[in-house]
Structure 1
Amino acid sequence: MGDADSLFGRARLGYIVIETNRFTDWHRFGADAVGMHADTLDATAMRFRLDDQQCRFLLRRGPAEDVTAVGWHIEDHTAFERILARVRDRGVPLAEGTSEEATLRGVERLWRFPGPKGIIQEIFTRPRLATEPPALRTDGFVTGQDGMGHIALTSTRPAQLRGYFTTLFDARLTDYIDETISGVKLKIRFLRLNRRHHSIAIAATHGLRLDPIRTRVQHLNIQVAELDDMTRSYQRVEELGFRMALSVGQHTNDRELSYYAVTPSGFEWEVGWNPTVIDETTWEPSTHRGISIWGHTPVGQTITSKLAQFKQAASSITHREQTVPALSGKGIPDD
């Protein structure tokens, strides 16, 4: 496929849908601790804003305690139709979202189709803008043309996941990280859809494929505008009694300063500042040894929590991870 046909640079992370029954805790976490703008729509729906868009995170009532859908903002109508054609031509089921679903997500219209690990993928072209500026506890969040932050997944089938996002959006490999955590060797793949260092991270074990994470996502990331925004939100997370997963540190590959908190639903939430912006004319993929230059020290891990992870990892051997073979090509082998 030539560059003229590529969809690289035409998609960016637009919104996330989370299913939870812990609305009170999520409101405290998202608005009071992290500092996002919160809108409670009714007893079954709540939204968080980062900027002028009506919705960046939609919370719906339900038992999953997990991310259920990811919304991708597509640059223009032509790119939108080409993505739909890629899905349709491979025989993958497509469905147009209802007007109610579009309204809840703060977009004019959307289409959806199956994604890896059971996370529904949704695409839209026009977000709806709020009439009032967001009431934030920060100087702002970085969104714009490169989208909002990233999603990180653990997988027993990383080649299929990478193949999926390459087939769909012409994602590019940014780099790898090799890391050993609790004696387990991991390779993490970082995929970009635009100038943002990565919109998708995929972590997998070497050798026997295991997945120690209960939730579909391992973490979500958002980016604050100022360093003080990150440090102040870190303090609020601790003061409000939310569990910290990793202390403040700096990553080896994108140089982002960040911390990781544990959300009320159990997956992690990274708040970061000042990651590398990719220059397509000079960037070459490489492998980094270790995830952090400094910091990112595990906080509050217990024997019980580690045993739960080992149990989850063992169960993943017998439960085949959900993929979308028709959109994964032949999978992309490790480099």
Structure 2
Amino acid sequence: MTVSVFGRVHLGYVVIETEHFDDWRRFGTDAIGMHHDPVSRDLMRFRLDDQECRFLLRRGPAEDVVATGWHVDDHTAFEEIEARLRSHGVPAVRGSAEEAALRGVERLLRFPGPKGITQEIHTTPLASPDPLRMLASGWVTGDSGMGHIAITSARPTRLRGYFDTVFDARLTDYIDETISGVKLKIRFLRVNERHHSIAIAAVRGLPIDPVRTRVQHLNIQAASLDDVARSYQRVHELGFEMALSVGRHTNDKELSYYARTPSGFEWEVGWNPVVIDESTWQPTTHQGISDWGHTPVGQTIVDRLDQFRLAARSLTRREDTVPALSGAGVPDD
């Protein structure tokens, strides 16, 4: 009998591969306001709370997110997810003690994920004895996990199928948006009380992916509106690129801005999104991403042309959806 793991899974950490260590250190600590821990010449970590690691950065050429780590509440849920992988013939590899220690967790398991982003599950995140040293007053994590990850895809239904199969993800809502004449449909999936831990954006009617990186953006939730405003100011003052100005989303009502990271994908700092009440929530479709704000900053016609070129190139690449877990054969809508 299959046991649901919904509500027992939380976004725990993210692994990023980059060569821009100095820029990332400045971006993470001096601009966004997180706690920084140097590990070695080729490794560093950021903290948001007492957990040892929320972002692990390793030296490498990807300039992208390469893995997402999901905290699973208990061994029963961990073993249920592992059994699902094996029943679908998907290889799952135990992480070494050293790999688990770098992530600040116990009992690490990794397996293939959509778009080449390795998925990892773990139990018992470890708390650091060291006090936080950061510019922000705090970040919202806890039962909701630490934020969300947004992905663009030419196969959105298959990605939704993947996260449903593995984590019993539920559809929260949709957003329909038109940007520069291109119609987008965005699916928002939750695995706990957070409005969404995964967002999947797709171009309607065209099997293209207009984003170079595997993720479009990462989100973390600030403890106060003042933290959002101060970090927004620091991003500007330190010369980091802003992607979208401050605004409020139509569906989760989160007030946020988007900066561009040293690796090129975007980083959303938000505040006060709605919390889902499972007894009353019904999925709906919203028109437009934002009630107000979130206007592009500094985008030129050259930037738009580059995006069109990336989209055209994506037609020649096969997007990895992990067919065994994604319901391959189901048409995308």
User: Does TM, normalized by the shorter one, top 0.5?
Assistant: yes
State which of 52, 74, 77 in structure 2 corresponds to 1:76.
74
Aligned partners of 2:330, 2:100: CA distance in 1, in Å?
A: 33
Aligned to 2:246: 248
Aligned partners of 2:131, 2:10: CA distance in 1, in Å?
A: 22
Q: CA deviation at 1:293?
A: 0.1
1:41-120 pair list within 5 angstroms: 41-120=39-118
Structure 2 residue identity aligned to 1:178: D
Structure 2 residue identity aligned to 1:191: L
Structure 2 residue identity aligned to 1:163: G
Aligned partners of 2:250, 2:330: CA distance in 1, in Å?
A: 24
Aligned partners of 2:129, 2:247: CA distance in 1, in Å?
A: 37
Q: Write out per-residue CA displacement over residues 281-324 of structure 1, whole angstroms, 9 at most, x where no aligned residue.
A: 00000000000000001001122221111110000111110110
Structure 2 residue identity aligned to 1:242: F
Aligned partners of 1:135, 1:109: CA distance in 2, in Å?
A: 28
Query: TM-score scaled by structure 1?
Result: 0.97
Aligned to 1:214: 212
Aligned partners of 1:37, 1:313: CA distance in 2, in Å?
A: 36
Identity of aligned residues (%): 72
Structure 2 residue identity aligned to 1:42: S
Contact 1:51/1:133, CA 8 A, preserved across alignment: no
| RMSD, aligned CA | 1.2
Contact 1:162/1:331, CA 8 A, preserved across alignment: no
1:165 is the counterpart of 2:159: no
Aligned partners of 1:132, 1:60: CA distance in 2, in Å?
A: 22
* Displacement over 3 Å in runs of 4+: 330-335
Aligned partners of 2:331, 2:26: CA distance in 1, in Å?
A: 42
Contact 2:68/2:117, CA 8 A, preserved across alignment: yes
Structure 2 residue identity aligned to 1:102: A
State which of 274, 277, 281 in structure 2 corresponds to 1:276.
274
**Secondary structure in structure 2 of the residue aligned to 1:109:** strand
1:299 is the counterpart of 2:297: yes
Aligned partners of 1:188, 1:323: CA distance in 2, in Å?
A: 17
Structure 1 residue identity aligned to 2:117: I
Gaps of 5+ in 1: none
1:1-335 pair list within 5 angstroms: 5-330=3-328
Structure 2 residue identity aligned to 1:328: S
Gaps of 5+ in 2: none
Q: CA deviation at 1:172?
A: 0.2
Q: CA deviation at 1:329?
A: 2.5
